[in-house]
Amino acid sequence: MSRRPRASGYFRTNYGEDLSLLPTRLERLALLGVLVVLLALPLLASPFLIDLAAQVCLAVIGALALMLLTGYAGQVSLGHAGLLAAGAFTVGILFKEFKAPFFVTLPAAAAVGALLGVVFGLPSLRVRGLYLAVSTLALNFLVAYLGGEYEARRGFSTGIIVDPPALAGMAVTDAKAWYLILLAAAVATLLLCANLLRARSGRAWAAIRANETVAQTLGIGVASYKLLAFVISSALTAVAGALFAYYRGFVSVEAFSLFLSIQYVAMIIIGGMGSLAGAILGALFVTLFPYAIEASLGALVGASAYAGLLFAVNATTFGAVMILFLVLEPQGLIGLWRRLQTYFLLWPFRHRPVGGARR
Amino acid sequence: MLLRLQGASLAALLLAAPAAAQDAYTIGLTGALTGPPASTYAPAADALRLYVDGVNAAGGIAGKKINLILQDDSAEPGKATANAKKLLTQDNVLLLLNASLSSTFAPVVAEAKRAGVPVLFASSVCPKEVYPPADPLQFCTTAFASTYDSRATLAFVKETAKEPVKIGFSAMAIPLSRAEMDFAEQQAPALGMTVVDKEVIPPPTPDYTPFATKLRDAGANWVFSWAPWVTQVRTLEALRRLDWKGDYIAWAHIEAEGELARLKDGSFYVVGANALFQEQLPIHQEIATAAKSAKLTYPVEQLSEGWIAGMVVEAALKATGWPATPEKLAAAMSTLKVDTKGLRGGPIEWTKDNHFRTRQYYRVYRWDSGKGAIQQVKDWTGFDVK
Amino acid sequence: MQLAVNIVVLTAIYALIACGYVLIYRVSRVLNLAHGELLMLSAYLLLWTASLFAGHPVAAIAAALGLSVAVGAMVYLFLLRNLTGEMALAAVLTTVALGVLLRGLTVIVWSAQQHYPAVPLGLANWAFALPGGARISLWAALLVATTLAVYASLFAFLRLGRWGMRMRAAGQNPLLAAQRGINLHAIYALAWSLSTLTGALAGMLIALDSGLGQTMAIIGLKAFPAALVGGLDSLAGALLGSFIVASAEVVLIHYVDPLLSEVIPFLVLIVVLMLRPWGLLGTREELDRV
């Protein structure tokens, strides 16, 4: 938990306050407001916007899972797309081979994810940093290869079509219903992550991230907590992949390229490492940004005569903005927010007075 | 700042939604306009845009313009689905065009079916569903067609070859190309050919020589490749560097005309369904003039595929009339006959259960080193599609 | 015999690309995932200079190489320099973003179609027979020769030259190196320039041999496992890793299943990472946390 004051004049006076997720009334009110807006969205927005919102919800689940692993436990992973693919293929295969309903396939996807988490996590016991990133990358390619071979051998050359899941006998196809389901899933993931982080596991991960040797001397089982981080993160990611398969209605290896892994890493970096809110902001940003560029460029250029080029411009701008962000604001969006907060907290001063009251 | 930018654009999106043109035929395309396979699909999208601009400049279809919305999917199925959703739900398109890899087909078709909107495959390979018995909502104008292409090619090889044919195949490691080469492998023995080798080559391959070595060492005197252009031509080049003297036959993709002139290889045959621009038909000149004034980046000989799609779209919308609905359009499309003005061997004719064409025509070309020009080896040969 | 030649050519391709990864990683501990895009950019630059100096291949190639070196230095000075001291992952991600940017940019400028820079340069590609019945194309032979020359001069440069010694020192301990008066930024910029130079050589030779398109960026990524197998901070390792990966690939294509060639580099990589995570010839090191 962050130790910075959250509001002017508010200081935590006991341990319980330090543990609580939303200590001040203003924060509770703000959350209520956000929830109302999120729930009211389907009534107001166009179908395209609802689809975007659903995509953001899916990205939020994946980004939170990766944030848990990388931002808190300090284990880098470039195999995120592989885990999403594993979840999606679990759904696809179980559906095609056994006609399994979603209440079977979703837990199965989580189980497969957890299992893969152990596999992905094993190298972390030996290697760290970039080498760990690369070994997870290699596993990512393996999962993709296996999925691709399944598709090719079973003759699903244009992807596996998955029927929409049936809830109470009704097939869920409505975009609004999907949005609400995915929103609920994202909120549940957020709560799960927040609770894991304020429990023993969160403190263990923070210790491992800060210094493995010290963590060990404190009596933390480094290996088991590392694996736990991988297992939980992978299971959540696989569930996100499974939801993706149902939401999109199909599974295909080509949907899980290396670029997807990179996008997820971009989400947590752009959002801000070590912050769940950062993961959400990052997911929002990375998912919506291409559409935002497209819309603003479209408005800017006016004529669509250069449409073919417009998309290359889109890719270029996305790359450029990502670079600008990394170079100019390495703390991410949450860093921007915190700076803003500090500015108002310290006002009229620009810096903390020397020997200030707290810290 | 970025957040604000996002908010502003989102607001723009929200406001733009109801402002879609009410007084035009709105059609949408999702295609691989960027990304690795873009060179096959982007020219088609450009040509389609060019054609539609031409129609609009001439006053549209009975006074109503065509509003063509292009969306890039970078050949990613996920992006293609999002595009399809956007085009169907926000832009309310009458017709969805697909110009991308086959892995985008399933999700795009699923979305279109849900909305009851017809899908036209233009420059992307024709899926099984457009052949008889055709799916009511799927149509295809693309020149190349699985199984028919192999039949035509093998028939040509059989009548051209002077000695017993020992044939090798070269496919790209994508499902479609693999399946087609598997089909050809099964067909060849019945035509008295010996199949000696089949190579499946992954797309990002820095050196094709290892694959070519296997084909050469297997003793092939003919090699047939039905794959994206890169795989076809790089297998050939690698074979030639290994001093392989056999005959090579491949599909005439949009790049073929320029490439035949570059390679200048007398035993390299291309089978195709589009007339090459060297024929200088009036329609070819029309395309060239339009491309020149619009300053397109792609060479003019790569534009036929998109132009044909444009002709078909125009004819279909004309037959539908105003006001158009997706149902009326689908109905009009299932009894459509479009004169291709020589770009193809015959008209594109769709019937209730055939959304490919009733008769598919093939031509074979090669480079004539004597004359220093492309030579037509075999004129239009028709195959009935049943 | 042809099999051996194929292995040598593929080894040369991978090795020439892999040394770009190694140079940057060894000196600045940054993994440059935009290497594939940078070498593609160099090949496109050749296409541009080829149109400027049509018929003068040497001038065109020299100009394109010069431009590539400048690009490499600029990438460091304008991007990576600002990230010194940030987490390793941020630097990696910056290179990824650069890759996305370059892919888009090359399509804007040169369109997505396949190009053949050899045509405007008036260069033909012929093949000749080697003793033992094998054949090799001119550009492939040149590529092998270039790879040998590049590795020989890099070894000499790093062992013997003053700047080479500075580069090694910066790679071993940047803090101490800086305190001994070595200009770290100049060293890092030099490493980036050298890396793009070798990448440019690879990109141009591949483009001259078999054309140029958007897939070239992926070829850069294929050489990446080779660099890792050998050890990311060892030039000799890059050579060895390239040889292992290339032989595994060629032999499997020939005797087993051509489809395996896509996963084999990564399977080899996983095995090596499990047994010797720092690579076959790499130095064992304590890696940073994220």
Q: What is the band of A353 on the pLDDT scale with cuts at 50, 70, 90?
A: low
Chain A residues whose beta carbon lies within 8 Å of the beta carbon of residue B106: 158-161, 250, 252
- Nearest of C267, C279, C204, C195 to residue C18 by alpha carbon: C195
C87-106 pLDDT, tens digit each: 777 788 889 889 988 988 88
Distances (CA, A) of A300 to A295, A310, A311, B9, C108: 9, 11, 14, 11, 17
Q: For chain A, what is the radius of gyration of the CA atoms?
A: 22
> Closest Cα of chain C to A108: distance in Å?
26
- For residues A282 and A327, give the distance between their C-alpha atoms in angstroms, rounded to a whole number: 16
CB contact (8 A) between residue C127 and residue B242: yes
Maximum average pLDDT range among B77-81, B266-270, C114-118, C215-219: B266-270
- Nearest of B74, B93, B73, B91 to residue B83 by alpha carbon: B73
Using a CB–CB cutoff of 8 Å, tell me whether C102 touches chain A: yes
Please tell me the predicted confidence (pLDDT) of residue A9.
59
Q: Closest residue of C to A272, CA-based? A: C90
Residues ≥6 apart with Cβ < 8 Å to C180: C169
Q: What is the DSSP string of C132-194?
A: TS-EEEHHHHHHHHHHHHHHHHHHHHHHHSHHHHHHHHHHH-HHHHHHTT--HHHHHHHHHHH
Using a CB–CB cutoff of 8 Å, tell me whether B335 touches chain A: no
Please tell me the predicted confidence (pLDDT) of residue B19.
40
**Residue to substitute from A51, A145, A157, interface B, most B β-carbons within 10 A:** A157
Q: What is the DSSP letter of A70?
A: I
Chain B residues whose beta carbon lies within 8 Å of the beta carbon of residue C210: 208, 234, 237
> Closest Cα of chain C to A124: distance in Å?
10
Percent of chain C with pLDDT over 90: 36
Chain B residues whose beta carbon lies within 8 Å of the beta carbon of residue A160: 106
CB contact (8 A) between residue A254 and residue B49: no
**Residue to substitute from C44, C83, C96, C105, interface A, most A β-carbons within 10 A:** C96
**Residue to substitute from B4, B5, B6, B108, interface A, most A β-carbons within 10 A:** B6
Distance of CA A143 to the CA centre of its chain: 20
- For residues B102 and B272, give the distance between their C-alpha atoms in angstroms, rounded to a whole number: 20
- For residues A297 and A282, give the distance between their C-alpha atoms in angstroms, rounded to a whole number: 22
On the question of pLDDT at A300 being above 80, the answer is no
Using a CB–CB cutoff of 8 Å, tell me whether C129 touches chain B: yes
Please tell me the predicted confidence (pLDDT) of residue A3.
47
A187-245 pLDDT, tens digit each: 999 999 999 998 899 999 999 888 888 888 988 888 899 999 999 999 999 999 999 99
C226-240 pLDDT, tens digit each: 888 888 888 899 999
CB contact (8 A) between residue C266 and residue A141: yes
Please tell me the predicted confidence (pLDDT) of residue B11.
45
Burial status of residue C31 (CB atoms within 10 A of its CB: 0-12, 13-18, 19 or more): buried
Beta-carbon pairs below 8 A across chains A and C: 129
Please tell me the predicted confidence (pLDDT) of residue B270.
93
Which of 151-180 (B) contact A at CB < 8 A? Answer: 175-176, 178-179
Phi, psi (degrees; rounded to nearest 5) at B247: -95, 140
**Using CB atoms, which chains have 3+ pairs under 8 A with C?**
A, B
A241-296 pLDDT, tens digit each: 999 999 888 888 878 887 788 889 888 888 888 889 999 999 999 888 878 877 77
On the question of pLDDT at A80 being above 70, the answer is yes
CB contact (8 A) between residue B12 and residue A299: yes
Using a CB–CB cutoff of 8 Å, tell me whether C96 touches chain A: yes
> Closest Cα of chain A to B261: distance in Å?
27
Q: What is the DSSP string of B105-126?
A: HHHHHHHHHHHT--EEE-SSPB
Chain C residues whose beta carbon lies within 8 Å of the beta carbon of residue B204: 215, 218-219, 221-222
Q: What ranges do the domains of chain A cover?
A: 45-257
SS3 state at B85: helix
On the question of pLDDT at A92 being above 80, the answer is yes
Using a CB–CB cutoff of 8 Å, tell me whether C211 touches chain B: yes
> Closest Cα of chain B to A117: distance in Å?
24
Residue B137 contacts residue B112 (beta carbons within 8 Å)? yes
Distance of CA A96 to the CA centre of its chain: 28
CB contact (8 A) between residue C103 and residue B34: yes
For the record, the structure tokens of B133 come out as 């018995």
Using a CB–CB cutoff of 8 Å, tell me whether B105 touches chain A: yes
Please tell me the predicted confidence (pLDDT) of residue B9.
44
Using a CB–CB cutoff of 8 Å, tell me whether C28 touches chain B: no
> Closest Cα of chain C to B229: distance in Å?
10
Chain B residues whose beta carbon lies within 8 Å of the beta carbon of residue A175: 89
- For residues A86 and A242, give the distance between their C-alpha atoms in angstroms, rounded to a whole number: 8
Question: What number of helices (H) and strands (E) belong to chain B?
Answer: 12, 14
Compute the average pLDDT of residues C251-273.
81
Chain B residues whose beta carbon lies within 8 Å of the beta carbon of residue C113: 39, 42-43, 255, 298-299, 302
CB contact (8 A) between residue B35 and residue C214: yes
On the question of pLDDT at C286 being above 70, the answer is no
Q: Closest residue of C to B229, CA-based? A: C114
A129 closest CB neighbour out of C88, C90, C221: C88
On the question of pLDDT at C78 being above 60, the answer is yes
Please tell me the predicted confidence (pLDDT) of residue B16.
43
Chain A residues whose beta carbon lies within 8 Å of the beta carbon of residue C86: 326, 330
Residue C12 contacts residue C191 (beta carbons within 8 Å)? no
SS3 state at B170: strand
SS3 state at B354: strand
CB contact (8 A) between residue A292 and residue B85: no
Hunting for tokens 């000075």 — which residue is that?
C77
Chain A residues whose beta carbon lies within 8 Å of the beta carbon of residue C278: 131
Q: What is the band of A350 on the pLDDT scale with cuts at 50, 70, 90?
A: confident
Using a CB–CB cutoff of 8 Å, tell me whether B33 touches chain A: yes
**Straight-line distance from the first to the last Cα atom of chain C, in angstroms, rounded to the nearest whole number:** 47
B68-103 pLDDT, tens digit each: 988 888 788 878 888 898 899 888 899 999 999 887
Chain A residues whose beta carbon lies within 8 Å of the beta carbon of residue B26: none
Using a CB–CB cutoff of 8 Å, tell me whether A316 touches chain C: yes
Mark out the alpha helices in B86-171 (DSSP H runs): 105-115, 148-160
> Closest Cα of chain B to C94: distance in Å?
18
Using a CB–CB cutoff of 8 Å, tell me whether A129 touches chain B: no
Chain B residues whose beta carbon lies within 8 Å of the beta carbon of residue C13: 206-207
- Nearest of A66, A244, A277, A263 to residue A165 by alpha carbon: A244
ipTM: 0.85
Segments of chain B scoring below 70 in pLDDT: 1-22, 35-36
Using a CB–CB cutoff of 8 Å, tell me whether C176 touches chain A: no
Residues for chain B: how many in total? 386
- For residues B354 and B139, give the distance between their C-alpha atoms in angstroms, rounded to a whole number: 9
Of residues A62 and B259, more confidently modeled: A62
